[in-house]
C-alpha cells in the first residue's frame, strides 16, 4: 500500500508529489495529458497585480516557499527551469507613473516595486514615459519542468499514463482502492478536468481560456519581461512568448481566430518592429470566481482530497498550496478559510 495516489501531473500534481516525497511518503501518479494549461503557461511569477498595482494574496510567503521548493527541485532533477528576470511595467502616461509611486509607498507593496524609473531604450519598443521595475520576479519553463519531472517519475516507476476511471475507485474505511493500486489517500489535481469528477464537480471552478503566441522578432532587443496589456517574455534566438487572452465563455483548448486577432492588436500597441507568429497555443486555466484556490478534504470521505484552482499563478501558488494541504492531511493543521473547499461544499454532497 502507498500513501498517496495522485491524479494529475500539472503544476498542482507535481508540487504535491514532491512535497510528499520530501516527507518520505510513497506516491503514484496518474495522468492522461488531457489538461495542457500548465504546459503552455507563461510561467511568470510576479507578486504584484500590475493592472491595479495591488499585492498578490500572501505574495511574500508564497515567494519564499516557491524559491526553496524550486531550488531543491533543480538539484534533484538536474535541470535549470527557473529563470530570475526583471518584469518591467511600461507606463503610458504621467498618471500611471504617479499611481506606481503611490502604490510603492504601501507597506505590502514596497518590497516589490522599485522607486527608480527605468528609461532604457529597448529597440522595438517606444516608451517615452519609461518603465517601473517589479522586484523578485522571473519565470519557470513549465513545459521543461513538467516533462523532466514526469521522466523522473517514470524512471522510478511512479507514473502511469491513463485516463482516470471514477467508477473503478473504491473507498474503504482507511484506504482507497483503484484498480491495482491501494493507497491511504487519493489526491485529485486535475485542473479544469475536475468537472468530470463526481466527488468535486459541484465546486465553482469556472475555467478561463487563455491564448498565447511564440513570436519571432529579430529587431526586438529585449532581455527583460515587459508587461502591459500582455507580457512579452524573451526565450532566446529572437523568440518571445507573448500572452495572454482571457475568455470566460469558451472552454476548449483550441486556438481561435478571435484570440489571435486580440493578441496581434495588443502586440502592435507595444512593439514598433515587425514580428512573425511562430506558434499559437490555448489552454483553460483552472480559475475560481473568488480568485482563491480550491484546497481540502472531501466532507464525507477523509481519504479523498483536492488541490486545484491555481488559476493564472500556478507557478507561485503550487508549492505553497501543496505544503498547506499536506500539513492539513498529515498534521491536522487547519486550512485557511479563504482556500478551504468547505467554503463551498456541504456535508450532503457525494
Instruction: Tell whether 215 and 124 lie within a shared domain.
Output: yes
What would the pLDDT profile of 241-296 be if each residue is shown by its tens digit? 999 999 999 999 899 999 999 999 999 999 999 999 999 999 999 999 888 999 99
Under 8 Å between Cβ of 50 and 134: yes
The tally of domains found in the chain comes to 2
Please tell me the pTM assigned to this model: 0.93
Q: Regarding predicted confidence, which is higher, 293 or 52?
A: 293
Q: Is the pLDDT of residue 349 over 60?
A: no
Q: Is the pLDDT of residue 346 over 60?
A: no
Q: Is the pLDDT of residue 347 over 50?
A: no
Asked whether residue 60 is assigned to any structural domain, the reply reads: no
Instruction: Tell whether 223 and 323 lie within a shared domain.
Output: no
Instruction: Tell whether 151 and 186 lie within a shared domain.
Output: yes
What would the pLDDT profile of 301-328 be if each residue is shown by its tens digit? 999 999 999 988 999 999 999 999 999 9
Mean pLDDT score, 129-137? 96
Residue 13: C-alpha distances to residues 84, 104, 153, 186 (Å): 24, 35, 12, 11
- The 3-state DSSP class for residue 59 equals helix
Asked whether residue 50 is assigned to any structural domain, the reply reads: no
Instruction: Tell whether 237 and 301 lie within a shared domain.
Output: no
- In angstroms, the CA 330 to CA 243 distance is 38
Asked whether residue 250 is assigned to any structural domain, the reply reads: yes
Instruction: Tell whether 132 and 152 lie within a shared domain.
Output: no
Instruction: Tell whether 105 and 121 lie within a shared domain.
Output: yes
Instruction: Tell whether 119 and 105 lie within a shared domain.
Output: yes
**Percentage, residues of the chain above pLDDT 90:** 89
Asked whether residue 77 is assigned to any structural domain, the reply reads: no
HSE-up of 164 (CA within 13 Å, CB side)?
A: 30
pLDDT at 201: 93
Instruction: Tell whether 123 and 252 lie within a shared domain.
Output: yes
Residue 350 pLDDT grade (very low, low, confident, very high; cuts 50, 70, 90):
very low
Strands (DSSP E) found in 36-152:
44-45, 48-49, 54-55, 82-84, 87-90, 131-134, 138-140
Instruction: Tell whether 213 and 300 lie within a shared domain.
Output: no
Asked whether residue 29 is assigned to any structural domain, the reply reads: yes
Instruction: Tell whether 231 and 339 lie within a shared domain.
Output: no
Under 8 Å between Cβ of 245 and 211: yes
Under 8 Å between Cβ of 83 and 236: no
Mean pLDDT score, 122-151? 95
Average pLDDT, the chain: 94
- The enclosing domain of 336 has a CATH number of 3.50.50.60
pLDDT at 85: 95
Instruction: Tell whether 129 and 226 lie within a shared domain.
Output: yes
DSSP state of 339: T
DSSP state of 138: E
Look up the domain containing 213 and give its range: 86-136+208-285
Mean pLDDT score, 223-246? 94
- In angstroms, the CA 20 to CA 330 distance is 10
pLDDT at 348: 39
Asked whether residue 272 is assigned to any structural domain, the reply reads: yes
Nearest to 69 by CA among 123, 16, 131: 16
Asked whether residue 62 is assigned to any structural domain, the reply reads: no
Instruction: Tell whether 166 and 35 lie within a shared domain.
Output: yes
- The enclosing domain of 216 has a CATH number of 3.30.9.10
Residue 34 pLDDT grade (very low, low, confident, very high; cuts 50, 70, 90):
confident
pLDDT at 33: 82
Asked whether residue 79 is assigned to any structural domain, the reply reads: no
What would the pLDDT profile of 178-208 be if each residue is shown by its tens digit? 999 999 999 999 999 999 999 999 999 988 9
**Percentage, residues of the chain above pLDDT 70:** 98
Q: Is the pLDDT of residue 220 over 50?
A: yes
What secondary structure does DSSP assign to 221-251, as a single string? Answer: ---SEEESSSEEEEEETTEEEEE---BSS--
- In angstroms, the CA 105 to CA 186 distance is 45
Amino acid at each position: 500500500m502507498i500513501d498517496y495516489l495522485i491524479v494529475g501531473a500539472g503544476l498542482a500534481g507535481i508540487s504535491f508529489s514532491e512535497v510528499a516525497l520530501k516527507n518520505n511518503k510513497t506516491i503514484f501518479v496518474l495522468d492522461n495529458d488531457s489538461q495542457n494549461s500548465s504546459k503552455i503557461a507563461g510561467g511568470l511569477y510576479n507578486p504584484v497585480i500590475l493592472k491595479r498595482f495591488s499585492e498578490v494574496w500572501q505574495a511574500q510567503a508564497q515567494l519564499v516557499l516557491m524559491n526553496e521548493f524550486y531550488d531543491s527541485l533543480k538539484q534533484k532533477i538536474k535541470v535549470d527551469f527557473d529563470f530570475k528576470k526583471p518584469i518591467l511595467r511600461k507606463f503610458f502616461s504621467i498618471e500611471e507613473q504617479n499611481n506606481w509611486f503611490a502604490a510603492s509607498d504601501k507597506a505590502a507593496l514596497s518590497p516589490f516595486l522599485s522607486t527608480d524609473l527605468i528609461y532604457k531604450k529597448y529597440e522595438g519598443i517606444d516608451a517615452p514615459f519609461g518603465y517601473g521595475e517589479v522586484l523578485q520576479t522571473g519565470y519557470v519553463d513549465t513545459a521543461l519542468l513538467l516533462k523532466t519531472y514526469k521522466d523522473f517519475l517514470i524512471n522510478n516507476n511512479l507514473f502511469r499514463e491513463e485516463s482516470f476511471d471514477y467508477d473503478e475507485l473504491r473507498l474503504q474505511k482507511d484506504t482507497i482502492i483503484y484498480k491495482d493500486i491501494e493507497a491511504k489517500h487519493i489526491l485529485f489535481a486535475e485542473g479544469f478536468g475536475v468537472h468530470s469528477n463526481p466527488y468535486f464537480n459541484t465546486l465553482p471552478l469556472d475555467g478561463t481560456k487563455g491564448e498565447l503566441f511564440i513570436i519571432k522578432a529579430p529587431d526586438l532587443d529585449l532581455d527583460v519581461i515587459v508587461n502591459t496589456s500582455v507580457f512579452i517574455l524573451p526565450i532566446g534566438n529572437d523568440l518571445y512568448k507573448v500572452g495572454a487572452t482571457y475568455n470566460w465563455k469558451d472552454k476548449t483548448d483550441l486556438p481561435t481566430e478571435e484570440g489571435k486577432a486580440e493578441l496581434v492588436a495588443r502586440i502592435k500597441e507595444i512593439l514598433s518592429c515587425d514580428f512573425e507568429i511562430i506558434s499559437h497555443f490555448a489552454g483553460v486555466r483552472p480559475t475560481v470566481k473568488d480568485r482563491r484556490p480550491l484546497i481540502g478534504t472531501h466532507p464525507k470521505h477523509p481519504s479523498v482530497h483536492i488541490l486545484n484552482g491555481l488559476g493564472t499563478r500556478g507557478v507561485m501558488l503550487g508549492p505553497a498550496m501543496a505544503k498547506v494541504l499536506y500539513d492539513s492531511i498529515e498534521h491536522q493543521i487547519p486550512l485557511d478559510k479563504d482556500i478551504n473547499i468547505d467554503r463551498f461544499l456541504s456535508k450532503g454532497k457525494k
